[in-house]
Structure 1
Amino acid sequence: MKIGIIGIGTVGGGVLELLKKEKKNIEKRVGEKIEVSWICDLKESVNKDSSYRFTKDYEDILKDESVETIIELIGGNTVAFSIAKETLKNGKNLITANKYLLATKGKEIFGLAKENGVKIFFEAAVAGGTPAVSSIYEGTFSGGIKRIRGVLNGTSNYILSKMEEGCSYEAALSLAQSNGYAELDPTFDVKGIDTAHKISLLSYLVWDELVDFEKIKIEGIDKITKEQVEVAKSLGKRFKLIGEAIKIENEIEIYVQPSLLDKEDQLYGVKDAYNGIESYGEHLGETFFYGKGAGALPTANAIISDLYKIKNSNAWN
């Protein structure tokens, strides 16, 4: 399998690292040789290995008929949207960690994949290195899932955990930024937008329907005060930013909001930058997934697992 990687940042670098370190094991599991034919980035400094062809223009990769699969890791939903569309129109498979792109442009992207007979996989888009997406799609589909909910944003969860330890919101955010959990502009994380992207994709995987993003009710954690957290703690409760999707008859409702959880709730114990996802099925009952939601190598591991699915699994689109 010949692949091209567009975007060699933290995660893209992690993908290249794992493909080297675990090459033999990965190829054995996938069932064929994996060759990185191209890497693409705007910075030439990422081109540290002469065995890859390097370009600043992603069109060079898309024109290469020998490349079967594109891994898109640039983020956003503008240039990444163009890359996704051209990838699929060129008959190439797409692997992405870009929840923003899929949650807002997914209907067109999934439609193009079906039209062109190619596959899209996005294990890393929801819970980083935690393999919850495959498990939910491939393992729970006959369980009559009625509800799925989770702590899906490690940044906001880390902030709330630090506030419970006595930090103000501002101090906790500063800690998150200094530890690499939050961007300089943390808007998507603290206002619940990132969580909304992720619960939207989980809902799609469960019910095969992508809800218009504008219809999702979203509230973040940026208005929660230290005093509110202390009161909750005194009552044996804690705040969590919860993304939840519920299907009642034929209607899907999705919302994101800070919620007060008690100790009996499975999501209560999801602390720091970890993620937790809970689903409830009529036939399956409760399932729970827990693990790291970010990090270069955990996320790269999820992306590489999609290479296995390209070769061996049915399409999710």
Structure 2
Amino acid sequence: MKIGIIGIGTIGRGVLELLNKEKENIEKRIGETIEISWICDLNENINNIENYNFTKDYKKVLEDSSVETIIELIGGNSIAFEIAKETLKNKKNLITANKYLLATKGKEIFEIAKENKVKIFFEGAIAGGTPIVSSIYEGIFSGGIKQIRGILNGTSNYILSKMEEGHSFKDALTIAQKEGYAELDSTFDIKGIDTAHKISLLSYLIWDEFIDFEKIVVKGIDHITDKDIEIAKSSGKRYKLIGEASKENELIKIVVKPVLIDKNDPLYNVNDAYNGIESYGHYLEKTFFCGKGAGALPTATSIIGDLYKIRNSNAWY
């Protein structure tokens, strides 16, 4: 399988690292040799760049007829949207960790994939290294899921955990940035937008319907104060930024907001950069998933898993 990777930031470097360190194991599981035909980025200062065909022009990657699968890791929904469309129209499979792109442009992207009979997978877009996407779509889809809720943003969860330790919101954000759990611009994280992107994608996977992103009720953690945290602790509770989607009488409702939860809630002990997701199904009842929701190697692990699905799973449409 010949692949091209577009975007060699934190996650892209993680993918390269895993493909190098676990090459034999990965190829054995997928059932064929993996060859990185191209890497593409605007930045030329990438370690070991001489080991790859490098370009700043993503069109060179897409024009290579030998490349079967593109891994898109640049983020955003403008240039990334063009890359996604051109990838699929060139009849190449697409793997992406770009929840922003899929939450806002997913309906069109999936239609193009379907028209061109190629595959698109996005395990790394929702919960880092926690395999919630495959579990829902390929595992528990028949359980009659009525509701799904969870902590889907490792940055916000890390900040809230640090605030419980006594740090101010500002200091907790700075620590998260230093530890690599937060970008310099963490607006999407702290305002709940990133969580909204992810819960909307989970909603689509469960009920096969894209909800207009503008209709999602979104409130972040940027208004939570030190005093709020202390009051919650004194009552044995803690704040968690929760994304929740439910379906009742054919109506899908999606809400993102900080919620006070107590010790009986399975999400109570999901701390630091971890994600936790709980689903409820009419037949299945409750299931719970927990794992690292941020970081280069956890997300890269999910992306490598998508390479397996390219060869061995049906398309998600």
Could you state the TM-score of these two structures normalised by the residue count of structure 1?
0.98
Aligned to 1:221, the other structure's residue is in SS state coil
1:131 offset after TM fit, Å? 1.3
Give, as a single letter, the amino acid of the residue that structure 2 aligns with 1:260: L
Q: Where do 1:177-192 residues align within 5 Å?
A: 177-192=177-192
Structure 2 gaps of 5+ residues are none
Matches within 5 A, 1:24-103: 24-46=24-46, 48-103=48-103
How many angstroms apart in 2 are the aligned matches of 1:177 and 1:54? 29
- Indicate if the aligned counterparts of 1:47 and 1:54 stay in contact, CA closer than 8 A: no
Q: Distance in 1 between matches of 2:228 and 2:48?
A: 49
Residues in 1 aligned to 2:262 and 2:65: alpha-carbon distance in whole angstroms: 55
SS at 1:46 equivalent: coil
CA distance in 1, matches of 2:173, 2:18: 31
Q: What is the aligned partner in structure 2 of residue 233 from structure 1?
A: 233
Alignment of 1:107-118 (within 5 A): 107-118=107-118
Task: Provide the secondary structure at the position in 1 that maps to 2:61.
Answer: helix
| Runs of 5+ unmatched residues, structure 1 | none
Distance 2:54 2:227 in 1: 52
In structure 2, the residue matched to 1:11 is 11
- Of stretches 123-132 and 42-51 in structure 1, the one that deviates more from structure 2 is 42-51
* d(CA) in 2 for partners of 1:32, 1:177: 38
Which residue is 2:205 aligned to?
Answer: 205
Give the residue type in structure 2 aligned to 1:224: I
Q: What residue identity is the alignment partner of 2:131?
A: P
Tell me the distance in 2 between the aligned counterparts of 1:261 and 1:169: 19
Identity %: 74
Q: Aligned Cα RMSD in Å?
A: 1.0
Amino acid at match of 1:43: N
Counterpart residue type for residue 140 of structure 1? I
After superposition, the Cα gap between the structure-2 partners of 1:233 and 1:183, relative to the gap in structure 1 and judged at 3 Å, is: same
Give the whole-Å Cα distance in 2 for the aligned partners of 1:47 and 1:115. Answer: 38
**What SS is found at the alignment partner of 2:277?**
strand
Residues 76, 98 of structure 2: 8 Å contact kept: yes
- Cα separation, 1, equivalents of 2:131 and 2:88: 25
Q: Quick one: distance in 1 between partners of 2:174 and 2:23? A: 38
Equivalence map 1:303-314=2 (5 Å): 303-314=303-314
Partner of 2:274: 274
**In structure 1, C-alpha distance between the alignment counterparts of 2:204 and 2:219, rounded to whole Å:** 21
TM-score normalized by the length of structure 2 = 0.98
Structure 1 stretches of 4+ moved >3 Å: none
